[in-house]
Amino acid sequence: QQVAKEALYAPYIVRERGEAMAVMKDEGAIIPAHLDYRQLGGLSSELVSKLERTRPASIADAKKIEGMTPAGIVVILASVRGHGASRVAG
Residue 84's pLDDT band (boundaries 50, 70, 90)?
Answer: low
Model pLDDT, residue 23: 67
- 3-62 pLDDT, tens digit each: 888 888 888 888 888 777 776 778 889 999 999 999 998 999 999 999 999 999 999 999
- The DSSP result for the chain, as a single string, is -HHHHHHHHHHHHHHHHHHHHHHHHTTTBBPPTT--GGGSTT--HHHHHHHHHH--SBHHHHHTSTT--HHHHHHHHHHHHHT---B---
Does 86 score more than 70 pLDDT? Answer: no
User: What pTM, to 2 d.p., does this model score?
Assistant: 0.68
Q: How far apart are CA 9 and CA 7, in angstroms?
A: 6
